[in-house]
């Protein structure tokens, strides 16, 4: 989730590695043998082999059941994978399958198979409803969710006890009060860590917009409402009551990335922040006693939290529709969905796998995240305009809470980018 959603940003310094796994091979192969080319993102933040091992194992099992289909997978770091796929598509060399951060442009250009062209009815109907809606254009699903996550409020129990905070906050006023107690009563550098840096500012911002009572960046009908009065009021509160009160730690929130905030949390320097499931394991390894609670809102816990998803899709350039479908139907079995989610501290994208994870005591720490996914709201990823809007949010939103920031002005600038991108999208349809 780069996500982009989940927004999930996993970079690897290693060069892309291609794993070529053959089927039966040699002269005994049938004349209708097909080789599928798959490009996938590397989720191993430590530069290890987990993504490569996952795909190697899955493909070997698939090819054993489908001896006439070979699959060649190339693993690319998140920093390169979207750009690599875009370049291949532009050059007329689209892969058969891509597992990347966004699908909308390719769907709008007619380059993808729809879900019902690839998947069996039981598989397609098994996706979580918010992910299906986010994967649709003009009521047709093209984006197939591959991994997802939601967010909760994480807090350091030791710092809470030291500061005399007895309960996690449910409202913004309670959050401010708790942050002030942490500032006054502990040595924590960040009473509340507010990462509005470019890594994932679009998701951090959306959590606050939802807590402010709006639908985030768009109205229910789908039109952008970035600079609504309610959204401006949300960032005015952040600027004045949290950042201006010195409760967000050293440095400007616009220069703090999620990765840095999480690292500070594992060092015991953060009282509270909005947390991704992957932080659970990191905090436990560091010996941090972590508490979880719903994300606070202006008047109470937010009714909806932000969800993030990464996508997998089948390109139609090479015409291997049946073979792509066979592979994707295999990919979305409970065993394979759960295996990937568990390895990467993410959430399953299907209802049956989510239920299985919820019933497994080994995943008790993820149950609060799972409970939110049935109603989570994703950013407007089905819009081809979202790429430009998301980029503008990442670049500018941190300025809204700076000492000289004007939230209404900054949101207005982003809204103009949204309007221009929306107009271009409509003209291209």
pLDDT digits (tens, 9 = 90+) for 94-128: 999 999 999 999 999 999 999 999 999 999 999 99
Least confident of 69-73, 228-232, 312-316, 371-375: 371-375
**Is it true that the peptide bond before 6 is cis, omega within 30 degrees of 0?**
yes
* pLDDT reported for residue 149: 93
Separation in Å, CA 78 to CA 10, 192, 342? 6, 28, 19
Beta strands 97-100 and 34-42 are parallel
Mean pLDDT value of segment 307-315: 96
Mean pLDDT value of segment 201-217: 95
Tokens of 223: 């039109």
Measured distance CA(59)–CA(52) in Å, rounded: 11
Measured distance CA(82)–CA(87) in Å, rounded: 9
Beta strands 69-77 and 152-156 are unpaired
Question: Mean pLDDT, the chain, as a whole number?
Answer: 90
8-state DSSP, 75:
E
199/191: higher pLDDT: 191
Using the predicted structure, report yes or no on whether residue 147 has a pLDDT greater than 90.
yes
Measured distance CA(73)–CA(324) in Å, rounded: 13
Q: Which of 183, 219, 210, 197 is nearest to 296 (CA)?
A: 210
* pLDDT reported for residue 375: 81
> Torsion-angle region of residue 137: left (phi > 0), alpha (psi -120 to 50) or beta?
beta
8-state DSSP, 238:
I
Using the predicted structure, report yes or no on whether residue 421 has a pLDDT greater than 50.
yes
Using the predicted structure, report yes or no on whether residue 3 has a pLDDT greater than 60.
no
Instruction: Tell me what percent of the residues of the chain surpass a pLDDT of 90.
Output: 81
* pLDDT reported for residue 47: 59
- Work out the pLDDT band at 57, boundaries 50, 70, 90: very high
Using the predicted structure, report yes or no on whether residue 21 has a pLDDT greater than 50.
no
Least confident of 59-68, 128-137, 352-361, 367-376: 367-376
C-beta separation of 92 from 56 below 8 A: no
C-beta separation of 156 from 290 below 8 A: yes
C-beta separation of 308 from 242 below 8 A: no
C-beta separation of 156 from 288 below 8 A: yes
- Work out the pLDDT band at 304, boundaries 50, 70, 90: confident
Interior angle at CA 171, CA 165 and CA 172, nearest 5: 90
Burial class (CB in 10 A: 0-12, 13-18, 19+), 329: middle
What 3-state class would DSSP assign to 318? coil
pLDDT single digits (tens) 315-369: 999 999 999 999 999 999 999 999 999 888 899 999 999 999 999 999 999 999 9
Tokens of 131: 């992910």
* pLDDT reported for residue 336: 97
pLDDT single digits (tens) 386-399: 989 999 999 999 99
How many residues appear in the chain? 429
Mean pLDDT value of segment 292-321: 93
Least confident of 20-34, 235-249, 348-362: 20-34
pLDDT single digits (tens) 67-98: 999 999 999 988 789 999 999 999 999 999 99
Domains present along the chain, CATH in parentheses: 34-150+308-374 (3.40.190.10), 152-305+384-428 (3.40.190.10)
Runs of H (alpha helix) within 286-360: 321-331, 334-343, 351-359
C-beta separation of 287 from 356 below 8 A: no
Using the predicted structure, report yes or no on whether residue 19 has a pLDDT greater than 70.
no
8-state DSSP, 188:
-
* pLDDT reported for residue 367: 92
Mean pLDDT value of segment 16-20: 41
């Amino acid at each position: 989730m780069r996500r982009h959603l989940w927004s999930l940003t996993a970079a690897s310094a290693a060069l892309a590695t291609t794993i070529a796994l053959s089927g039966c091979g040699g002269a005994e192969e049938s004349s209708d043998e097909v080789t599928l080319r798959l490009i996938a993102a590397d989720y191993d933040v430590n530069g290890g082999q987990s993504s490569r091992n996952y795909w190697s194992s899955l493909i070997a099992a698939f090819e054993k059941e489908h001896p006439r289909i070979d699959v060649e997978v190339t693993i690319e770091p998140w920093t390169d994978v979207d750009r690599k796929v875009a370049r291949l598509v532009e050059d007329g060399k689209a892969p058969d399958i891509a597992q990347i951060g966004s699908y909308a442009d390719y769907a709008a250009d007619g380059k993808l198979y729809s879900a019902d062209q690839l998947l069996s009815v039981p598989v397609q109907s098994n996706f979580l409803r918010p992910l299906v809606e986010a994967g649709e254009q003009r009521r047709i699903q093209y984006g197939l969710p591959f991994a997802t996550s939601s967010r909760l409020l994480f807090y350091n129990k030791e710092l809470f006890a030291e500061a005399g905070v007895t309960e996690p906050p449910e409202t913004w006023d309670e959050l401010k009060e708790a942050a002030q107690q942490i500032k006054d009563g502990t040595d924590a550098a960040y009473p509340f860590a507010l990462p509005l840096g470019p890594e994932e500012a679009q998701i951090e911002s959306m959590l606050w917009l939802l807590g402010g009572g709006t639908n985030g960046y768009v109205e229910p009908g789908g039109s952008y409402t970035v600079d609504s009065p309610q959204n401006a009021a949300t960032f005015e509160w952040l600027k004045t009551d949290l950042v201006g009160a010195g409760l967000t730690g050293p440095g400007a929130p616009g220069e703090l990335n999620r990765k840095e905030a999480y690292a500070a949390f594992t060092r015991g320097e953060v009282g509270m922040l909005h947390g991704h499931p992957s932080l659970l394991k990191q905090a436990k390894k560091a010996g941090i006693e972590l508490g979880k609670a719903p994300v606070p809102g202006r008047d109470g816990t937010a009714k909806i939290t932000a969800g993030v998803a990464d996508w997998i899709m089948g390109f139609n350039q090479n015409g291997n529709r049946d073979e792509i479908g066979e592979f994707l139907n295999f990919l979305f079995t409970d065993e394979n969905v759960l295996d990937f989610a568990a390895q990467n501290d993410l959430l399953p994208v299907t209802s049956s796998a989510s239920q299985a994870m919820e019933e497994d005591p080994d995943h008790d720490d993820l149950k609060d995240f799972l409970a939110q996914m049935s109603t989570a709201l994703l950013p407007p990823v089905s819009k081809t305009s979202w790429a430009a809007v998301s980029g503008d949010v990442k670049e500018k939103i941190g300025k809204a809470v700076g000492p000289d920031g004007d939230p209404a002005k900054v949101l207005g600038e982003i809204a103009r980018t949204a309007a221009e991108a929306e107009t271009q999208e409509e003209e291209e349809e």
